[in-house]
Structure 1
Amino acid sequence: MLAVFGAGIGAGAINAVVGSGTLITFPVLLATGLPPVTATVSNALGLIPGSISGAIGYRKELSGQSRRILKFCAGALVGGLTGATLLLALPATAFERIVPVLVGLALVLVVLQPWISRKLRHRRELNGESMRPDGGLLLFTGLTLASVYGGYFAAAQGIIYMSLMGMLLDDSMQRLNAIKNVLVAVVNAVAAVFFLFAAAFDWTAVVLLAVGSAVGGQIGAAAGRRLGPAVLRGIIVAVGTVAIVQLLLR
């Protein structure tokens, strides 16, 4: 119980700053003896308060973004529900091979994001185009597909969100991180509601993770909001690299 509670605090904190908190909680839940699908479902339910807590901690950075957030949340809701359905319909190992590839690609995009953004900005200036404040159909589609993955497993989901938004939105890393926290909260919540009626879960694990992640979310938001863009990008890459190694070795 102490291990699960501690994992919840760590996951809540790291989710608020970067994402990938599931890579902390999921192995701990498995170590307690829970089956993989039950652990995944319990994890999704338990981390909802942490996601909400992290989003609240970034409320200042959310100011002025309501229109695009509502649009992205619609895609996240559909994607999260689809991913949760796939979790119960497909074999537990269905995404194991593709997950490290997705995370690796997202990390490359995060590293190259400043260069890609400059190139895209220069191209738009030459063509006399302006960047859409919501990133257009390409970003909406990408975030929705990332939400399908998030509803299925959620490990490094936030890193994929950040890589997509960093390329297609002209905004600060902190404001994008605030959007990421909201999207993760929406995906976790819609998946959890589905799981309540369609899957088995462990209430003890859920409660321990819920309390721990809520505390961790506030800690992570307080620390993350003080980080500069380069530092935040470096943390994302470091956590993502650890995530890939863990996923490959599991």
Structure 2
Amino acid sequence: MTPWEAVAVFAAGVGAGGVNTVVGSGTLITFPVLLATGLPPVTATVSNALGLVPGAISGAFGYRKELRGQRRRILRLSVGALLGGFTGAVLLLALPATAFERIVPVVVGLALVLVAFQPLITKRLRRRAGDRSSAAGPRGPVAQSPAPLKDGPRDRDGGPLLFVGLALASVYGGYFAAAQGIIYMSLMGVLLDETMQRLTAVKNVLVAVVNTVAATFFLFVADFDWTAVALIAVGSAIGGQLGAAVGRRFSPVVLRVLIVTIGTVALVQLLLR
């Protein structure tokens, strides 16, 4: 790796760390740069996964304030993230490179639709839950006051649907990780009754879990470039703190627009690969 290539990889690491902390899709910054240095695709993917671990941890630490009160939820969802991330890492080495790449644009596209239309989807789900509660309420002249309406699928933990959905998204994250955070945000946004900032904090922890378990697996069974790993690691750790400092100030609308914008760029890049 030449000195200029090293600078480019480090800069890509900073950018990826910041983007991953706020939105996701940082892999689409580092991965092309690693390929441009001459690394084979699988080696670049493994090196990228190892290098982004410090960035994911740094971003999660930067959002520690928003993590308060979510310990039970994070522990539960982290189990699915761990299992999914390990499965994805195994599949990266076991399956042909084209196997997952065919469905990646579809997965990212669906996630973007969910993020963009999350307020409308949520409103309809809540209205339907309210209609069901009203229809099931007591009837007659001596009817009691109806029980408080629940949010349907948007409960405190998201139910089995969120657990399974995030576990499957973690399989994808352990395999390639591009737009992984966007998929997490889309699922949690629909199924959890939380602010975007608190969901971003959970997303950062889950990404850190997936990256760590995948990286640990890769350390023992895959080829990687230590120089690339070190440069991305330092850069992403710095970027994670920068991203947390900036991203925590965004309003829900701005954050949603940013997710959709970056996700669309990521989708176009994936389609043109």
TM-score bracket, normalised by the shorter chain, equals: over 0.9
Matched, 1:199 2:222: yes
Q: Does 2:48 match 1:28? A: no
Question: Structure 2: how far apart are the matches of 1:130 and 1:141?
Answer: 22
1:228 aligns to 2:251 (yes or no): yes
Aligned match of 2:17 in 4, 12, 30? 12
Aligned pair count reads 250
C-alpha deviation, 1:182, in angstroms:
0.3
- Counterpart of 1:187 in structure 2 is 210
Tell me the residue number matched to 2:139.
Answer: none
Task: Please show how residues 205-244 of structure 1 align to structure 2 within 5 Å.
Answer: 205-244=228-267
Alignment of 1:74-223 (within 5 A): 74-128=79-133, 130-131=150-151, 132-223=155-246
Aligned residue number for residue 72 of structure 2 = 67
Distance of 2:122 and 2:84 partners within structure 1: 26
* Counterpart-to-counterpart distance in 2, 1:140 and 1:158: 15
> Helix, strand or coil for the counterpart of 2:177?
coil
Q: Give the aligned partner of residue 271 of structure 2.
A: 248
How far 1:125 sits from its partner (Å)? 2.1
Deviation (angstroms), 1:96: 1.4
**Aligned to 2:59, what secondary structure does the other structure show?**
helix
Cα distance, 1:127 vs. partner? 2.6
TM-score, normalised with respect to structure 1: 0.99
Q: Secondary structure of the residue that 2:150 maps to in structure 1?
A: coil
Spell out structure 1 runs of 4+ moving beyond 4 A: none
* Partner of residue 53, structure 1: 58
Cα drift, residue 130 of structure 1: 2.4
- TM normalised by structure 2 equals 0.90
For residue 148 of structure 1, report the CA deviation from its aligned partner: 0.2
1:3 and 2:8 matched: yes
Letter in 2 for 1:209: I
Deviations 1:54-86, CA, capped at 9 Å, x for gaps: 000000000000001000000000000000000
Aligned equivalents of 1:90, 1:34: Cα separation in 2 = 19
Distance in 1 (CA, whole Å) between partners of 2:225 and 2:157 is 39
For residue 100 of structure 1, what is the amino acid of its counterpart? P
* Alpha-carbon displacement from aligned partner over 1:184-226 (angstroms, at most 9, x marks no partner): 0000000000000010000000000000000000000000000
Identity of aligned residues (%): 75
Q: Which amino acid aligns with 1:181?
A: N
Aligned match of 1:37: 42
Residue identity matched to 1:183: L
What SS does the aligned partner of 1:94 have? Answer: helix
Give how far 1:126 is off: 2.4
How far the C-alpha of 1:95 sits from its partner, in A, is 1.2
- SS state of the match for residue 154, structure 1? coil
